[in-house]
Amino acid sequence: MAERRSSSSNERAIVPIACLLSLAACSAGGRSGGLAAAVPSAVGNAIEVVQKQPPSQILKFPLLTSNAGPNAVALGADSNYWVTEGSVGQIARVTNTGAVSEFPFTLSHAPSYVAKGVSPYVVWTADTTDGVISGISAAGVPKEVALAAGSSPVQSYDDASNDVWFPEASANTSAVAETIGANFANKTTKVTTYALPTGANPSSIVQGPDNNMWVSEPGLGAIAKVAHSGGAVTQYPLPSGRTPTTIIKFAGALWFGESTTTSTAYLARMTTAGALTEYATLGNVVPEYLVAGPLSGIWYCTTSAQLAYAVPATNSISFKKAVATFGAPEKIIEGNDGNIWYSDPADNSVDIYVVYPLTVTPGSIAFTALTQTQTFSAKETNYTGTFYVTDSNSSVASITQSSGKTFMVTANAVGTATLTVSDNAKYPSLGNGTTISVTVTTTSISVN
């Protein structure tokens, strides 16, 4: 059980991504198989290591409070990740390197939704049960606004013009509300409500390519456009039997999943003029939570416990399965590292699906004499750019880049060093990375 502290926030450092991604870590704690034995060739050549299994592609950052009930995550304006803890009335901040801090709410006891904000608020949260919208500062301090009785915000969206929009789906109303003057630190907040047709039950909202707000209406089987200026509502009914899921903006159009009254499920595209195109999904699984993500694709969780993505092309679409068994549908986002982040209530953690796994060959290097050299190579799926290496102890080993993917290591002195290989010069703030251990002795050789 995580230790609770008496201060207003809890903080703990989690193992850095570089360590979690290392081949050694994956061999010890990931899938079975690990690394095969390796035999060195003549000194000066690379040691080839054959990896029987790929490294685990799911990384986990445990939260501090037990049974916190994480239910949504967003990349904040401060480049950190913020996750709502709906079971304990808190919000957690998670850095790229895994440091976790938690901050309590006062009015909001069950925050469910979180979205990126604009200064002075790094994210916005919505609490459907308590009817509260909150702006969170970079220091984790919430500014909470209690909405009118009966309000039930089910999402929030900052339109970057100092207004926050959110659908309301209570039993006695269906509406979209616009919080005017959302930077309400020193001013009175005004909430303007735009009524939707009875029974709309709006569930998600996004600002479209046309600057208007677009809302999914599962209660009516429709998509609504709410004019950004004035709030005029235009309805676009879907074909009979369709129920829309999360709506997003991607490649100049609106995209959303559709369940149906038949066995067919769709990923749907709608233009800003309301023209609809439907694509039957792989295995007829319903895209539940969608996000514009890596590989030029639309990523989504499915109702049949999958993580998948689709890559649109002219007049066609290609569906691909990323993870066959993913657990219950999760609210996912694309991180600034190009990976998929999501909350995991089953494990009480924030998880990362590594889209572009980076591996190095070999995973460790041993020298038996000074001035010896060996090489290692880096490889990452769907990546053709430059790799970067940093050295924890250059007096022991120095690095020379032979090519974009191959590096030469020279033994300088007896000792140990750790090489960090990454695909971004700003790692670990951005990108993926892994490590190589280097040992220099003058008496023996060890090969891992």
- Domain hosting 272: range is 58-353
Rounded to the nearest angstrom, the gap between the alpha carbon of residue 35 and the centroid of all alpha carbons in its chain is 29
Q: Which of 353, 381, 402 is the last residue of a domain?
A: 353
Q: Are residues 52 and 167 in the same domain?
A: no
Q: Are residues 413 and 280 in the same domain?
A: no
Q: Are residues 196 and 289 in the same domain?
A: yes
Q: Are residues 395 and 345 in the same domain?
A: no
Q: Which of 310, 329, 353 is the last residue of a domain?
A: 353
Task: Say which CATH number the domain at 27 has.
Answer: 2.60.40.1080
C-alpha angle 175-176-181 in degrees, rounded to nearest 5: 135
CA distance 116 to 132: 17
Question: Which residue carries 């002219």 as its tokens?
Answer: 314
CA distance 144 to 322: 38
pLDDT in tens, the chain (448 residues): 332 223 344 443 333 333 333 322 232 222 222 222 222 222 333 332 222 223 447 888 999 999 999 999 999 999 999 999 999 999 999 998 889 999 999 999 999 999 999 888 999 999 999 999 999 999 999 988 888 888 889 988 888 777 889 998 874 556 677 665 545 554 456 788 888 998 999 999 999 999 999 999 999 999 999 999 989 999 999 999 999 999 999 999 999 999 999 989 999 999 999 999 999 998 899 999 999 998 899 999 987 778 899 999 888 899 988 876 776 778 899 998 888 999 999 899 999 888 877 889 999 999 999 999 999 999 887 677 889 999 999 999 999 988 779 999 999 999 999 999 988 888 776 677 889 999 999 865 454 5
Q: Which of 353, 368, 390 is the last residue of a domain?
A: 353
* 3-class DSSP assignment, residue 351: strand
173 domain-assigned: yes
C-alpha angle 88-117-137 in degrees, rounded to nearest 5: 60
Question: Which residue carries 């070999």 as its tokens?
Answer: 362
Q: Are residues 337 and 436 in the same domain?
A: no
4 domain-assigned: no
Structural domain total, the chain: 2
* 3-class DSSP assignment, residue 188: coil
Q: What six digits make up the tokens of 79? A: 């480049």
3 domain-assigned: no
- Edge-first strand listing for the sheet containing 10-12: 10-12, 100-104, 90-94, 81-85, 70-75
Q: Are residues 345 and 422 in the same domain?
A: no
Q: Are residues 268 and 374 in the same domain?
A: no
| Total residues found in the chain within this entry | 448
Closest to 438 in 3D by CA, of 401, 389, 384, 382: 389
446 domain-assigned: no
Q: Are residues 322 and 396 in the same domain?
A: no
Q: Are residues 87 and 121 in the same domain?
A: yes
Q: What counts of helices (H) and strands (E) characterise the chain?
A: 2, 37
CA distance 443 to 258: 66
Q: Are residues 123 and 193 in the same domain?
A: yes
332 domain-assigned: yes
Q: Are residues 154 and 264 in the same domain?
A: yes
Q: Are residues 39 and 187 in the same domain?
A: no
